[in-house]
Every structure is written in C-alpha cells, then in structure tokens.
Structure 1
C-alpha cells in the first residue's frame, strides 16, 4: 500500500515529461528540412522503373526539373538518393562551402573496373589511395616546372595539327572534318606526353592517324560515354552480376582495346628502367616509373601505373575537341564573331608565324569564345558524381548520407536566372564580366569548366592550353565557311548526350604564307 503514493508521484512527474518529449519530437519533425522535390519513389526500386522507361536518363532528369520548375531535385534510384543541381549558388554550397562532405566518389562496377579497383585519381573515393595519387599529380606531373618541361611536346603536336589540316586544304581549299581533327589532336597530344610517341603504328605521311590511332580514340570515347551511364546495377547492387543493357560488355571491350595499346609499352619501359637501358625521364610514363618511396622502392605498382595512364588518357580527350567543334559551329552561323576572333589573332600574332603559348594572355576574345562554348555546350550534362559522407543540409533541403550529387553543367550554363539570353552564343558577355584577366576557369560555377573544391580538375593549366591552342591555330591558320550544301550549320544535339548530332565539316583554306605551315624541325614521332 505504501508503494501506491510513490507510483502516483512518479506518474505525476513522468507524464508531463513524456508529453513534453512528444511535443518536442513532433516539433523537431516539423522543423526538419525535407528532401528536395522529386517524383514519388516506389518501394525498394525507387524511380528505376521510370528511368528505364525514359532513356536517355539525363534528358528524363532535365524534364523532371523543368516540370517541377526547380534547380535541385531528388530522384531515388534503388536506395540511393540522386540529387541533380542546375543552380550555381547551390552548386557552390556543395562543392565549396561543404566540400569536405561531398568530396568522395560512388562505389560502382564501372569505375571500379576501369580503375582496376580504385587505384587512380578521378573516380577513386576519398582515402589514402586518392590522396597519394592526387599528390603525385599535383607535385610530379602538373607542377609549373613539369608544365614547362612539356612545352616542346605540346608545340610539336600543335605544329602537326596545322600540317595535317594544311595538307587537306592546300590545293585551293577543301572540306575538313573538324570533329575528327580535334579528337586526334587530343589523342596525339596525350600519347606524346605519356609515351613520347604520336602513333602506335606507322601513322600517315600527311600527319593524320593510322588505323591503330583511330581504334584507340574510338575506344576512349566509348569509356567516356559509359563510365557513369546510370546502369541498374549501380543502384541495385544485388543485381551486379546481370548486364541488362550490355553496359558491362561494351565497357570491358573498350577498356581492353585501350590497354591493348598501352600495356605493352608500359611493360617494355619498366623493363628498360629496371635493366639500366633507360636512365632519364622523357615523358609522364618515365616519371611514374621513376618515383620512389622513403625506402627507395618504387612508389607505384605496375597496376597503379597502367590504371592511372588509362584514366589520364580518357580524361584528356573529351572537353577540348567538343568545345572547339561547338564554338566553330556557332561562329559559322555568326560570321562576324569568327571575323572578330581572326582579327584579334592577326593583331597579336601577325601573319608570319603560328600562334604560340606565349600569345595566350593577349587573346581575350578567343578565350571569351571558348568560355561561351563551355557555357552552352558541355561534353556531358553531368559532372562525375560527388557522394555525401554524412547527413547535411544544403539550400534548406535535407541531403542524406550516401547521396549522389550531380551538377548539371548544361543546366548551370543555360540557367536563365543567371544568364541573359541564355541560349544565345554571345562571347562578349564574358569580356564584360572579366575585363582583361580572362581565363577559362569559373570559380563562381556560373558555367562549368574545371569544377571546384578538392575534386576540381588538377590539370586546369594543361586543359586551358590544349583548348586554346587547338582553337587558335585553326582560326588563325585557315579561313572557314560552312560547306556549300549546308549554308546554316545544324546545332542540334545527339539524343544520347550533349554532343553535336552531326560532325562539323567545314570548308577551309590556308590564309598564311605557305612557308609558315612547314616547321623546320618537324618530326613524325612514331
């Protein structure tokens, strides 16, 4: 009986506390930010059925964002929240303000296969391996000293580019496939920097690619298109062993093609260093092999070298050629812009020599054209996914741990809230914004070139020089008009991605004295 008053006394204190706790919990739930808007997911599979019914996936996502009139959306694929973003200010929150939380990468079959188990830089999740490989990039491959060290190789490939186009146009002009030219300039340059050779086979006497180089470049672009292509197994890991869309087969074949050309060169070079046949560095491969740890042992394994070279080759190919093809396409439809770029090059360079890297700081209008190309026509709509390592709040929305954040490059660049006449090609808009200090980088992320934060492209300087050189040499060295059967260049995109639907074929004629096109020290570099 004595316990009854005690029990009542306990209830007297506990019940109010319990009621208060319930009210607090309820108010906490009400104040907790919600996920970004998005389509209602199905149990377990999320929005995968809709994704599969609406290929290509990036256009389905574009339509969702347009229908909801939002710059951030949440789409659940399997148990993963996929967060596409088309707002520069929200992108800055993800990639700059909360960079530490969103610096990692997703775990999936594609990136694991291409990187041989996450041995590389770009697709590897945060951790010691990523830090190691990034440090090598920044300190050993892409330092200002190494950039200068590669100067002559870049110049020789730019000379070969001009020679190749000249050989197609020297007899009164000719039609030139500028997509083909740009892609193989990128391929030649990456091979020269990596292996100190332009061709895997014999190449061609006119400076063009042989069958081995054609095969190599095709495989590189297959990897670019399929590395993060929304396969089902990325979101339902229990189905990793299935290949519904043939995605794995395609990616394996392309990867094996690339390594068929790379790996014998790497193995032979390692043998040369090990046996004292080679003693000094000539290219990036030599640097990788020569690196030592604190105990004077090789810093990189053979598989790390092979995998990183694979990733490097893929990463250097896409942006420059795509940007230059689109910019030329836009300018052929607006000849006054092409004329203005040509006049700037004539004023800075003259007509007795070819464009050199030392001219770049004075070519602001040329760089404005390229910035406008990056704004309107990125190579793919989404950047490489960023993964959240903890729950957080961005733009007043709840972003769960493990979310895949995708910055929509085209959505950002064509955002009408940021850009006036967002769909019009107007290079002058960048001159007004940046004055005399024009670069291809964009820290504010109002257009997406080289990214921001820990995962920004470490090769910003190299990427800038490759893009500007390709464009400037073609504009300065040749006059260009649309082909006779296509007075207006078609600017439509492929359905599967944001590439130009039809390769740009233009009519070119040399515009400089003939001797300018024949460098005295030209080498074939087989």
Structure 2
C-alpha cells in the first residue's frame, strides 16, 4: 500500500500533467484561431482585389463642400468654367453638384464615345423639372426618354415635317416672311435697328407661318407672335434658372423656388393657344373638304400633323398631346436657336468688314445685284456657308448641348460613368481646343474651305465640330435650320450695307443660358445696297 507521501506526489504529478495538457490545448486553440483569422483576412483581401480587377475609377475632379459639392465655386458662364477645369483635370471629369453627380466631357474622342459608340446607353436625357412642366411631362422630342414614343416622334418629324418635299412645299411661306423682313428694314434706313429683336421676330414669323400656315390671319398671327415672344423669354428663363429641385431631387415635390408653379401657368396659356388654333384649323379643313377639287393642295405642318392624329391603325398612336409637344419643340427651340445664330453671324460680319465684303461679292456673283436672294441660291454660297460654320464653332447656341443620362453604368475614356448621372458634352470647349483647331479664337471662315476641316458639318459626323450634337438625339429640326439661317443672313447682307452706330463700343460678350445669346443687343444701321428700289417693295 503506498504511503501518503507517495500518494501526494502521484496526485501532484497528475494535476501538473493535466494543467500542462490544458495549457497546451489552449495554446493550440489560440494558434488555430490566430491562423484562421490570418487566413480570413488574406482571403477577404484577395477576393476584394479579385472582384475589383477590371473595375475603373470615377473620373478625376475638383473637391467640393459637404452637401453642396462644387456648387459654390461655379461661375455664371458654365461652359467657360468647365473649360478651365478640364485643363487641370483632363477631358473627362466629375463634379458633385448638390446631390447630383455630373460628368463633363471635353474632347472629340470622348464626345464620339458618348454620342456614337455608346449612343444607345446615353440616349436618355437628364430632364430639369421645369422642362417636364413645360413640355407635357416630357412627351416632346427634346426630353422624352429613349423608346418607342421617342422613335414615333422623330419619325413623324423627319418624314412628315423635315423631309425635302415638306420643306419645299412651304417655301412660299418662308419667302413671304423674309421679304417682309427686308421691307421692314428698308423702312428704317439710316436708323439704328436692334438686329437681335429683328431676327427673333423674323424667325418666329417664319415658323408660325410654316407651322400653321393660313390658320390665323395676318393680325392674329402677329398678336400670337408678340405674346409668344414674351412667353418664350419667360419659359427659357425658368428652364435656365438654377433649381434646388434639380440639385436635390428629394426636395422636388416641395417646389421651394416655385419654378414648377410658374411654369405650369405658362404651359396652361400655351395649351389654350394650341387648342384654339387646332379648333380653327379643323373648322377650316371641314369647309375645304366641301370645296375640294382635284388639284393637290398645299399643306402646312399643322395640317399634316392633324391628319396623323386621325389615323387609327398605328400600334403607337400619335395623339393630340404629342402634336402639341412637337409644335412646342419647333416653336421654342427653332425660334430661339436660329435667331440667336443669325445675331451672332451678323455681329461677326460687322466686326470683320473684310469677311463681310467677301460674302457680298459672292452674293453678287451668284444672285446678282439686281435680284433678291432665293432659297435655291443657298447651296452655291460656299463662303457664306463657311462663315456660318465658323459662327457655330465660336458661338454654339447650346455650348453644353443638352444633358444626357446613361441608362446603365458604363466606361468612357477609362473611367466609370455611373447609371443615372448627368453627362454634359462641352461643345464650346471642343470647338476652341488649340490641339484641334489652329488659332482657335480667331474668326477664320476660310478654315472650312480647306481639306483639313472640309468634313466638319453641322450634322455632327466629325466630333471636332458638334454644334447641334450627334447621334440619335441630334437636333431633329436641323433641316429647317439649314435653310432658314443662311436665307435670313444672306438676305440681310445682300440687301443692305451695315455699320455700327457712331461712337459705339460694342462688347461682344456672352449671356449664358440654355441658349447662349449676346449679352448686349446687337444694334446696327442699314443703308440700301440693291440697285433697283423696287426690289424692296
């Protein structure tokens, strides 16, 4: 039998062995847990690295303030501001404007990516809330989302309204209004004329005459034109106004600045005008049907559109609301942009007498000093065409074009462009880029007569030159603008000599907006140039 001392020793050994075993087990557990933690961290880091492989960062851009982003640092002339920033951050950059992410593209290569190579992705618009209120909740061509409805509107516009056949059929209406402009100028010989106002009213009269033809008599059309001018200025001012609802969409329903409320009032007035004109046109058409003969009748745009609304076999019907939205597009966009470009062109020619003289000499050769300008003469006026192209290059009516919004996240220029952000193409910066254009700040129409720039057309096929955009969202009214702009400018330059009022120190500055106009109205004095006074009758 073991002694008590032996038993004590045995128990001590047993206890020590057990403690050492437990200690060893705990050490092993710690090692195992540590190893597992290291493995987990390593695996997670590897997975993150693997998942991010092939991902592209957001474009570079300036830092902003919390909540406001870069808003406090923007200047009134956004195209100038973005152009300067692009010199620091590159041809694609991001800015946080309130809660909205804005991507600005400023190079021909990246503009091509957006407007051609990834055109379907960028075919949607970033629509201001004011535009939705004005244009029947975005049902017009300018703001409608990409889809069947937009394709219907563009098809109607391009096939029915902007085809050569349709435009030729209403040439007599355009000619009448341009001749009236010449008579009005001739009645103010040797007096100062506000060319900005003159050209706006002329283009507006041309459009109203073209759109609803004889629906209104002369007095009625003049009354509507005067009211519409005021309406357009108010509507465009609201659309261009910085709006909290656009910068912080979560606040849109509160309409803090009352922009939507004011725009709804304007939209209601215009809708009533359209209803009145459409009603009168339908009455005229019913009378004409009773007197209809075998001869083919001349159709203005309103008549064509009303016939489309009466067709019942379309899968995608063309409604009266679509008709109104289309008319509104033509009246607002067509009037403001075309009249603005006439004013810029006349201003540049007044500033450059040598180029003015060359245009007049070309007109004498093609038209003749004893004749008035007609639309068929326009394709022969190559130097005038170069002058207008150079004017579009230096003074694009929409310097940032119309904002786009990608329908899915994509990559442009090696950078991620998130779905739903606002994308702007800075046409103004692209068309003044010294890497692309020689002496870019000089007014040199001759550049467009050289082989280097001969492919630059306003239809946006050369991405060094995109005054009207490109791709499926290019300005649908371009065919009409291509006729109206040179017709008006050629008639003014051929019919009159122009000079600045004595002592005038004209500032050729811009006033930024949706359409960038001259900051100071263009005023000049005409004198007769044609040899036969009867040509002004």
Which of 36, 40, 49 is 2:63 aligned to? Answer: 40
SS of structure 2 residue aligned to 1:352: coil
2:486 pairs with 1:452 = no
The 8 Å contact of residues 168 and 174 in structure 1, kept in 2 or not, is answered as yes
CA offset digits 1:144-175 (Å, max 9, x no partner): 22122122222222212212212222xxx322
CA distance in 2, matches of 1:164, 1:122: 33
The 8 Å contact of residues 83 and 429 in structure 2, kept in 1 or not, is answered as no
SS of structure 1 residue aligned to 2:192: strand
Q: CA deviation at 1:306?
A: 1.9
The 8 Å contact of residues 266 and 306 in structure 1, kept in 2 or not, is answered as no
The 8 Å contact of residues 375 and 414 in structure 1, kept in 2 or not, is answered as yes
CA distance in 1, matches of 2:420, 2:47: 28
1:299-314 alignment runs, 5 A limit: 299-314=317-332
Aligned residue pairs, count: 498
CA distance in 1, matches of 2:103, 2:455: 34
Distance of aligned partners of 1:375 and 1:297 in 2 relative to their CA distance in 1, 3 Å threshold: closer
What is the aligned partner in structure 2 of residue 332 from structure 1?
350
Which of 194, 199, 207 is 1:182 aligned to? Answer: 199
TM-score by length of 2: 0.83
Distance of aligned partners of 1:401 and 1:238 in 2 relative to their CA distance in 1, 3 Å threshold: same
2:252 pairs with 1:240 = yes
Distance of aligned partners of 1:294 and 1:17 in 2 relative to their CA distance in 1, 3 Å threshold: farther
CA distance in 1, matches of 2:197, 2:468: 23
Distance of aligned partners of 1:262 and 1:53 in 2 relative to their CA distance in 1, 3 Å threshold: farther
What is the aligned partner in structure 2 of residue 115 from structure 1?
135
What is the aligned partner in structure 2 of residue 287 from structure 1?
304
What is the aligned partner in structure 1 of residue 509 from structure 2?
492
CA distance in 1, matches of 2:383, 2:456: 9
SS of structure 2 residue aligned to 1:317: helix
The 8 Å contact of residues 105 and 111 in structure 2, kept in 1 or not, is answered as yes
2:118 pairs with 1:98 = yes
What is the aligned partner in structure 2 of residue 86 from structure 1?
106
Q: Structure 2 unaligned runs (5+)?
A: 1-34
1:487-526 alignment runs, 5 A limit: 488-494=505-511, 498-512=516-530, 513-518=532-537
What is the aligned partner in structure 1 of residue 380 from structure 2?
362
2:491 pairs with 1:473 = yes
Higher mean alpha-carbon deviation, 137-146 vs 461-470, is at 137-146
The 8 Å contact of residues 441 and 450 in structure 1, kept in 2 or not, is answered as yes
What is the aligned partner in structure 1 of residue 337 from structure 2?
319
The 8 Å contact of residues 149 and 316 in structure 2, kept in 1 or not, is answered as no
CA distance in 1, matches of 2:73, 2:129: 22
2:418 pairs with 1:400 = yes
TM-score by length of 1: 0.85
SS of structure 2 residue aligned to 1:116: coil
CA distance in 2, matches of 1:296, 1:455: 23
SS of structure 2 residue aligned to 1:241: helix
What is the aligned partner in structure 2 of residue 522 from structure 1?
none
CA distance in 2, matches of 1:188, 1:224: 19
Larger Rg: 2
The 8 Å contact of residues 51 and 57 in structure 1, kept in 2 or not, is answered as no
The 8 Å contact of residues 215 and 281 in structure 2, kept in 1 or not, is answered as no
Q: CA deviation at 1:382?
A: 1.7
Distance of aligned partners of 1:495 and 1:94 in 2 relative to their CA distance in 1, 3 Å threshold: closer
SS of structure 2 residue aligned to 1:73: strand
What is the aligned partner in structure 1 of residue 52 from structure 2?
29
The 8 Å contact of residues 81 and 403 in structure 1, kept in 2 or not, is answered as yes
Q: Which is helix-richer, 1 or 2? A: 2
What is the aligned partner in structure 1 of residue 13 from structure 2?
none
Q: CA deviation at 1:137?
A: 1.1
2:381 pairs with 1:381 = no
SS of structure 2 residue aligned to 1:384: coil
The 8 Å contact of residues 77 and 512 in structure 2, kept in 1 or not, is answered as no
SS of structure 1 residue aligned to 2:524: strand
Which of 219, 232, 251 is 1:202 aligned to? Answer: 219
The 8 Å contact of residues 331 and 337 in structure 1, kept in 2 or not, is answered as yes
The 8 Å contact of residues 281 and 287 in structure 1, kept in 2 or not, is answered as no
The 8 Å contact of residues 78 and 236 in structure 1, kept in 2 or not, is answered as yes
What is the aligned partner in structure 2 of residue 6 from structure 1?
none
CA distance in 1, matches of 2:217, 2:111: 41
CA distance in 2, matches of 1:389, 1:189: 38
CA distance in 2, matches of 1:298, 1:28: 44
2:174 pairs with 1:160 = no
Distance of aligned partners of 1:115 and 1:67 in 2 relative to their CA distance in 1, 3 Å threshold: same
What is the aligned partner in structure 1 of residue 235 from structure 2?
223
Which of 128, 143, 149 is 1:129 aligned to? Answer: 149
Which of 61, 85, 88 is 1:65 aligned to? Answer: 85
